Structure 1
Amino acid sequence: MPIPMYTPRHLGRLGIWQMSGWSIKAYGISAQAPKREQLLQPELINEARSFVEANLARMNGTPHYSVDFVVLHHGSSAKTLLTQWWVNECVCMQYAAQSDYSGKPKFSHVKSDLMACAYELAAIDFERRAWISTVMSGKQMEEYLESWLPDGLH
């Protein structure tokens, strides 16, 4: 199986989504460098928000801190949505969903052992470091929520 050459992708903040008491840091990644201000199509973002909100019960079933982060990636072969939330002080839980690359976005849970691709791991690594340097260092949750991976090519 051939491995493509690494080409940085644009990663940007989609803001904090407030849902049912949760504060969700949302990132977007695009395989195509944006030629206009919009990183991802609003239809894709709205579908991702709806999917996360519909799955809050899954997250509420764990001992959580009501904060999480999502990575929404319009990649080169699929649209991927990774939802991670913090439990038990230092554990990061995750569920993954995907939608077909083309057509109207419609997410469904993946049936494989998918964790993340190399591009998505940039945001996950940053969030790990932010959790350690803020919450696990005795700082307020707000400092974690204010820590963001800078927008740009990663």
Structure 2
Amino acid sequence: MTPYRPRRTRSLGVTETRGWNVKVIGITAGQDLPDDFEVEAAMLAAERELPERAGIAFVVVHRGTEALCVNICWWQADILYHRVWRAGLGTTELVRAPADGPAACVWELLAIDHERRAWVRHVLARPDDPDYLGYLAADPLVEAA
């Protein structure tokens, strides 16, 4: 095991797919954040995972040291649904991780925690007037600690 070091984490914007508003978050173990091809592959996986009904989701695209990992997450009230897809380094051939496979690494969990806090602040704490646009604009961690 190597010592923990923060990884570069940035918002890659908000996109729409099949009626879903999806925040895209990039993480890298190196210098470069996930590229357009990696993000496109992640969004194709998200299109397959997201339910038919529209809503709000986020996708974490992590170019790690062992694999390209994609966390596809969506909100249903106060519940987070989560699926993991992985590809070998240098490829975008994502496959769904088995149910007994990994859920997320420590860097992905930082991004997921940020999204949880933003969802509580902008949506759950305001049940009569949820601020979905505020949630979508909430920027993820700039440098994951």
Fold match by TM threshold 0.5: yes
User: Contact 1:65–1:86 at 8 Å: present in 2 too?
Assistant: no
Residue 65 (structure 1) shift: 6.2
CA distance in 2, matches of 1:95, 1:153: 21
Q: Distance in 2 between matches of 1:65 and 1:124?
A: 20
Whether the 8 Å CA contact 2:110–2:144 is kept in 1: the answer is: no
Q: 1:132 is matched with which residue: 84, 98, 120?
A: 120
CA distance in 2, matches of 1:53, 1:91: 19
Give the AA of the match of 1:142.
L
SS of residue in 1 equivalent to 2:84: strand
Is the Cα contact below 8 Å between 2:60 and 2:111 reproduced in 1? yes
1:146 is aligned to 2:144: no
Find the partner of 1:47 among 20, 41, 49.
41
Residue 110 (str. 1) matches residue 101 (str. 2): no
Q: How many angstroms does 1:44 deviate by?
A: 1.1
CA distance in 2: counterparts of 1:30 and 1:44, whole angstroms:
12
Instruction: Give the number of equivalent residue pairs.
Output: 141
Distance 2:5 2:31 in 1: 10
Gaps of 5+ in 1: none
Q: Which amino acid aligns with 1:106?
A: E
RMSD between aligned residues: 1.6
Paired position in structure 1 for 2:72? 83
Give aligned-pair identity as a percent: 27
Cα drift, residue 31 of structure 1 = 0.5
Give the TM-score of the pair, scaled to structure 1: 0.84
Pairwise CA distance, 1:152: 3.1
Shift of 1:105: 1.0
The C-alpha deviation readout for 1:67-116, integer Å capped at 9, x for no partner, is: 011100010001100011111x21101011000113x3111100133211
List structure 1 segments (4+ residues) > 3 angstroms apart after TM superposition: none
Displacement of 1:153? 4.6
**Partner AA of 1:141 in structure 2:** Y
- Counterpart of 2:3 in structure 1 is 5
Could you tell me which residue of structure 1 aligns to residue 82 of structure 2?
94
Question: TM-score of the superposition, structure 2-length normalised?
Answer: 0.89
